[in-house]
Structure 1
Amino acid sequence: MGRASAEISQDLGGKNELEKPGDAQVLEDIFSSQVNLGDTLRYDQTHRKLKNRHIQLIGIGGTIGTALFVQIGVSLTKGGPGSLFLAFTLWCTFIMAINNCLSEMVTWIPISSPFVRFADRFVDPALGFCAGINFFVFEAALIPYEIVAFSVVIRFWTDEIPVVAIICFVLLCYALLNIFAVRYYGESEFWLAMGKVLLAIGLIAFTFVTMVGGNPLKDVYGFRNWNPPFAEFLKTGSLGRFLGFLACLIQASFTIAGPDYVSMAAGEAEAPRRVMPKAFNSVFYRLTTFFVIGSLCVGIVVPYSDPDLLNAISNAHPGAGSSPYVIAMRHMHIPILPHIVNALVLSAIFSAGNSYVFCASRTLFGLALEGKVPRFLSHCTKGGVPIYCVLVTLAISLLAFLQVSNNAAIVLQWFVNLVTASQLLNYAIIAFTYLRFHKALKVQGISRDTLPHKSFWQPFCGYYALAGTFTMAFVGGYTVFLPGHWDVPTFLFSYLMIGILPVLFLAWKVIHKTEWRRPEDVTFFEAERMEIDRYEERIEQ
Structure 2
Amino acid sequence: MERGSLTKRLYSLTSKSRQSNPEPLEWEKNEEPFTQLQSEDQTSRTLKDRHIQLIGFGGTIGTALFVQIGSTLTKGGPASLFLAFTIWSTFIMAINNCLSEMVSWIPISSPFVRYADHFVDPALGFCAGVNFFVFEAALIPFEIVAFNVVLKFWTDEIPLAAVICFVLVTYAFLNLFAVKYYGEAEFWLALGKVILAIGLICFTFITMVGGNPHRDAYGFRYWKPSNVPGAPFAEFIKEGSLGRFLGFLACLIQASFTIAGPDYVAMTAGEARKPRQVLPKAFNSVFYRLTTFFVLGSLSVGIVVPYNDPDLLNAISNAHPGAGASPYVIAMQHMGIKVLPHIVNALVLTAVYSAGNSYVYCASRTLYGLALEGKMPRFLTRCTGRGVPIYCVGITLAISAMAFLQLSNNAAVVLNWFVNLVTASQLLNYATVAFTYTRFYAALKRQGISRDSLPHKSFWQPYSAYYALAGTFTMAFVGGYTVFLPGNWNIPSFLFSYTMIGIYPILFMGWKMIHRTKWRSLEEIDFFESERADIDRYERDFTE
Q: Which bin holds the TM-score, normalised by the shorter protein?
A: 0.7 to 0.9
Within-5 A mapping of 1:97-496: 97-163=94-160, 165-179=162-176, 183-227=180-224, 228-318=231-321, 321-380=324-383, 385-400=388-403, 417-496=420-499
- Which residue identity lines up with residue 105 of structure 1 in the other structure? M
Per-residue deviation, 1:45? 2.5
Q: What is aligned with 1:27? A: none
The answer to whether the 8 A contact 1:71-1:323 is kept is yes
Q: What is aligned with 2:86? A: 89
- In structure 2, what is the Cα distance between the partners aligned to 1:463 and 1:116? 19
Cα root mean square deviation, aligned = 2.9
Deviation track 1:24-51 (CA, whole Å, cap 9, x = no partner) reads xxxxxxxxxxxxxxxx966643222222
Q: Name whichever of 187-196 and 522-531 sits farther off.
A: 522-531
- In structure 2, what is the Cα distance between the partners aligned to 1:320 and 1:409? 21
Unaligned runs of 5+ in 2: 14-36, 225-230
Q: What is aligned with 1:74? A: 71
Per-residue deviation, 1:57? 0.8
- Which residue identity lines up with residue 337 of structure 2 in the other structure? I
Q: What is aligned with 2:19? A: none
Per-residue deviation, 1:315? 2.1
* Partner SS, residue 457 of structure 2: coil
- Which residue identity lines up with residue 215 of structure 2 in the other structure? K
The answer to whether the 8 A contact 2:305-2:331 is kept is yes
The answer to whether the 8 A contact 1:113-1:363 is kept is yes
Per-residue deviation, 1:401? 5.4
- In structure 2, what is the Cα distance between the partners aligned to 1:163 and 1:145? 13
CA 361–531 in structure 1, closer or farther in 2 if over 3 Å, else same: closer
Per-residue deviation, 1:378? 3.7
- In structure 1, what is the Cα distance between the partners aligned to 2:511 and 2:486? 38
CA 292–159 in structure 1, closer or farther in 2 if over 3 Å, else same: same
* Partner SS, residue 47 of structure 2: coil
- In structure 2, what is the Cα distance between the partners aligned to 1:251 and 1:412? 20
Deviation track 1:246-272 (CA, whole Å, cap 9, x = no partner) reads 111111111111111111122222222
Aligned residues: 512
- In structure 1, what is the Cα distance between the partners aligned to 2:367 and 2:477? 26
Q: Does 1:59 align with 2:59?
A: no
* Partner SS, residue 325 of structure 2: coil
Per-residue deviation, 1:323? 1.5
Q: What is aligned with 1:26? A: none
Per-residue deviation, 1:280? 0.6
Unaligned runs of 5+ in 1: 1-5, 19-39
Q: What is aligned with 1:520? A: 523
Per-residue deviation, 1:417? 4.2
CA 153–412 in structure 1, closer or farther in 2 if over 3 Å, else same: farther
Per-residue deviation, 1:535? 2.5
Q: Name whichever of 112-121 and 81-90 sits farther off.
A: 112-121
CA 180–54 in structure 1, closer or farther in 2 if over 3 Å, else same: closer
Q: Name whichever of 469-478 and 487-496 sits farther off.
A: 487-496
Per-residue deviation, 1:239? 0.8
CA 142–277 in structure 1, closer or farther in 2 if over 3 Å, else same: same
- In structure 1, what is the Cα distance between the partners aligned to 2:49 and 2:56? 11
Q: What is aligned with 2:533? A: 530
Deviation track 1:228-260 (CA, whole Å, cap 9, x = no partner) reads 111111111111111111111111111111111
- In structure 2, what is the Cα distance between the partners aligned to 1:408 and 1:288? 39
Q: Name whichever of 479-488 and 346-355 sits farther off.
A: 479-488
The answer to whether the 8 A contact 1:314-1:409 is kept is no
* Partner SS, residue 373 of structure 1: coil
Per-residue deviation, 1:297? 0.6
Length-normalised TM-score, structure 2 = 0.87
- Which residue identity lines up with residue 311 of structure 2 in the other structure? D
* Counterpart selection for 1:497 from 497, 500, 508: 500
Per-residue deviation, 1:471? 0.4
Q: Name whichever of 101-110 and 417-426 sits farther off.
A: 417-426
- Which residue identity lines up with residue 366 of structure 1 in the other structure? G
- In structure 2, what is the Cα distance between the partners aligned to 1:286 and 1:307? 32
Per-residue deviation, 1:540? 7.6
- In structure 2, what is the Cα distance between the partners aligned to 1:451 and 1:382? 32
The answer to whether the 8 A contact 1:120-1:127 is kept is yes
The answer to whether the 8 A contact 2:52-2:183 is kept is no
- Which residue identity lines up with residue 389 of structure 1 in the other structure? C
- In structure 2, what is the Cα distance between the partners aligned to 1:10 and 1:313? 56
- In structure 1, what is the Cα distance between the partners aligned to 2:474 and 2:504? 16
Q: What is aligned with 1:36? A: none
